[in-house]
Structure 1
Amino acid sequence: MSGKTKQSQKLLLFRLSGERLLGLGTLKIREILPFQPLTKLPHSHHAVIGTATFRGSAVPVIDMAAAVGYPPLSREEREKASIIVTDIQRQEIGFLVRSVQQIVEVDWRKVMPPPKALGHNAFVTGLLDMDGTIIQLLDVELLLARVYPETLEPQDVVLTDVERETLRTQNILLVDDSQVARKQLCDVLDSKGIQYQVTANGDQAFQTLLRDYELGKPIDILVSDIEMPGLDGYELAFNIRDNASLKQPFIILHTSLNSEMSLSYANQVGANEALTKFDADELLHAMLRGAEQSSH
């Protein structure tokens, strides 16, 4: 692969309430459907309003406005609404939104991290200024964690004593812009007593790699999200591979997208492995393969 990584990405813009525009990467989206009658699900979260039929399968539909704290759409509003069918974290989920606006192509490097003042409960991973209009990029992982809290329960993975000690010898760096994804990654390693460092974006991660290399403690294993504001996972991997002076870590790119295209592109930019979030067993065993490679 030559030259810079491809940084443009398409975003679907939509509205939940008022004039505020939100964005969702189109790689996550399978289809946009007009509202259809839904089958109610008993004992479900208040934001899960039923299931829709999509290509012969029942797909749960979440009223996105209700899930993030806005008033739910009324029966009349639903009739004019759309269902965005997404493929995220190994499952198809529909999101009911008030109105779909357009698809735009954006430069991912121009996405700004959200201000810290928004706090931990903001469902926003980034902000984008498009001709004076601020687009909020939705933190779908946080939204799903609120609707399905059981998905955050730590998965127990059995490691042998040798495997656990092998990982404890590694200098591990985790990077993800979603606080939910960072917690899942940290919980897995904490449960095994494995040390690591963690950053919230690719720029911080690259600076950490450079710093640790200069200190004589180079990063052995990097686990990075793909979709992040600023330096995304693809460009982070590319920049690392493009830097001949760095000791090259084993790179695992991690994505909530069930997309063959995103995984194949991860290999093109120099990632050793690409995994779909979130499976603790897959992750730890990919890290063990990295530890084995770094010892050779």
Structure 2
Amino acid sequence: MSSKTKQAQKLLLFRLSGARLFGIGTLKIREILPFMRLSKLPHSHPAVIGTATFRGSAVPVIDMAAAVGNPPLTAEEQQKASIIITDIQRQEIGFLVRGVHEIIEADWKHVMPPPKALGDRAFITGLLDVDGDIIQLLDVELLLAKVYPESLVTRDVTLTDVESETLKALNILLVDDSQVARKQLSDVLDSKDISYQVTSNGDEALQILLKNNELGRPIDILVSDIEMPGLDGYELTFNVRDNPALKPPYVILHTSLNSEMSLSYANQVGANEALTKFDAEELLQAMLRGARESG
């Protein structure tokens, strides 16, 4: 592979409660709807304001401002608001926002990681300067985990002794900018006593790959998110495949995007597989396929 096709990365910009702009990738978005009458959901999280009917299905709607700790939209504000229907981690979720601003094209290389001073509970994965405005990219996985904490519970997966020992022998690297996704990935491997390395961005991942290669312990399995600040999962995969000095790992791109386009592009840049987050059984079976191929 001598050249890389560049996939346009688009962001939807919107407002929650003030003038500050937030953004999420458009590949996560199914549709943008004006506010509609919602059906109440009893015993739900306070940020879940009801369900909307979308293409014949009932979709829960979350007041995004309330979910991230801001005042919820008033009944009057809701009438002028929009509902962003998303497809994330195998489920359709609606997010109520004060107003949709615009869709822009963005290069993930220009996305900056959030300041460490914001702490572990910040609901942003990156910052992007657009014409002097700082756009905050929302960590929708963390937001969903707050509203639906049961989604963090990883079901147990049964492995044979041979499968378990096969995975324990691998040098595995996990890469994801979402702390929720890192926890899910780590939990499934920890539960099987499988060792691994983990990092939050593609630039650090590439350095870990090169360092392990130099030490004679090349990475066997690389599991990476797609949308990350700096070096995204597509570019990380391309860089790995395009570096003749690296012993090529088995690359699994792991994404919250339930999108045929994103999965097709993953194959174009050299990924062995692309999985939609999060299914522990699928992940471990993909790693076992990687072990068989590298073995």
Shorter chain as normaliser: what TM range? Answer: over 0.9
8 Å CA contact 2:59, 2:94 repeated in 1: yes
Aligned-partner SS, 1:240: helix
Of 7-16 and 214-223, the range deviating more from structure 2: 7-16
8 Å CA contact 2:111, 2:229 repeated in 1: yes
Corresponding residue number in structure 2 for 1:264: 264
Corresponding residue number in structure 2 for 1:100: 100
8 Å CA contact 1:112, 1:127 repeated in 2: yes
Give the letter aligned to residue 114 of structure 1. Answer: P
Corresponding residue number in structure 1 for 2:230: 230
Corresponding residue number in structure 2 for 1:4: 4
Written as runs of structure 1 = structure 2, the 5 A alignment for 1:171-182 is 171-182=171-182
How far apart are the structure 2 equivalents of 1:205 and 1:110? 17
Corresponding residue number in structure 1 for 2:24: 24
Offset of residue 8 of structure 1? 3.6
8 Å CA contact 1:174, 1:223 repeated in 2: yes
Give the letter aligned to residue 257 of structure 1. Answer: L
How far apart are the structure 2 equivalents of 1:154 and 1:274? 20
Is 1:287 the equivalent of 2:281?
no
Corresponding residue number in structure 2 for 1:208: 208
8 Å CA contact 2:4, 2:269 repeated in 1: no
Offset of residue 4 of structure 1? 3.1
Offset of residue 155 of structure 1? 1.4
Q: Deviations over 1:154-179 (max 9, x none)?
A: 21000011100000000000000000
Offset of residue 294 of structure 1? 1.0
Give the letter aligned to residue 73 of structure 2. Answer: L
Give the letter aligned to residue 220 of structure 2. Answer: D
Offset of residue 2 of structure 1? 4.7
How far apart are the structure 1 equivalents of 2:6 and 2:254? 18
How far apart are the structure 1 equivalents of 2:2 and 2:100? 36
8 Å CA contact 1:141, 1:180 repeated in 2: yes
Q: Deviations over 1:202-221 (max 9, x none)?
A: 00000000000000000000
Corresponding residue number in structure 2 for 1:85: 85
Q: Deviations over 1:115-150 (max 9, x none)?
A: 100000100000001111100000000000000000
Aligned-partner SS, 2:189: helix
- TM-score, structure 1 normalization: 0.98
Offset of residue 5 of structure 1? 4.3
8 Å CA contact 2:17, 2:73 repeated in 1: no
Offset of residue 225 of structure 1? 0.3
Corresponding residue number in structure 1 for 2:195: 195
8 Å CA contact 1:7, 1:107 repeated in 2: no
8 Å CA contact 1:39, 1:50 repeated in 2: yes
Give the letter aligned to residue 73 of structure 1. Answer: L
How far apart are the structure 1 equivalents of 2:57 and 2:8? 32
8 Å CA contact 1:5, 1:234 repeated in 2: no
Is 1:39 the equivalent of 2:6?
no
Offset of residue 70 of structure 1? 0.3
Corresponding residue number in structure 1 for 2:160: 160
8 Å CA contact 2:31, 2:86 repeated in 1: yes
Is 1:137 the equivalent of 2:171?
no
How far apart are the structure 2 equivalents of 1:178 and 1:201? 9
8 Å CA contact 2:2, 2:242 repeated in 1: no
Corresponding residue number in structure 2 for 1:57: 57
Aligned residues, how many? 295
Offset of residue 96 of structure 1? 0.2
How far apart are the structure 2 equivalents of 1:4 and 1:263? 16
8 Å CA contact 1:167, 1:194 repeated in 2: yes
Written as runs of structure 1 = structure 2, the 5 A alignment for 1:231-246 is 231-246=231-246
Aligned-partner SS, 1:38: coil
Structure 2 residue runs without a partner (length 5+): none
Q: Deviations over 1:39-66 (max 9, x none)?
A: 0001100101000011111110000001
| Aligned residues with identical type, % of pairs | 80
Aligned-partner SS, 1:159: coil
Aligned-partner SS, 2:31: strand
- TM-score, structure 2 normalization: 0.99
How far apart are the structure 2 equivalents of 1:261 and 1:131? 29
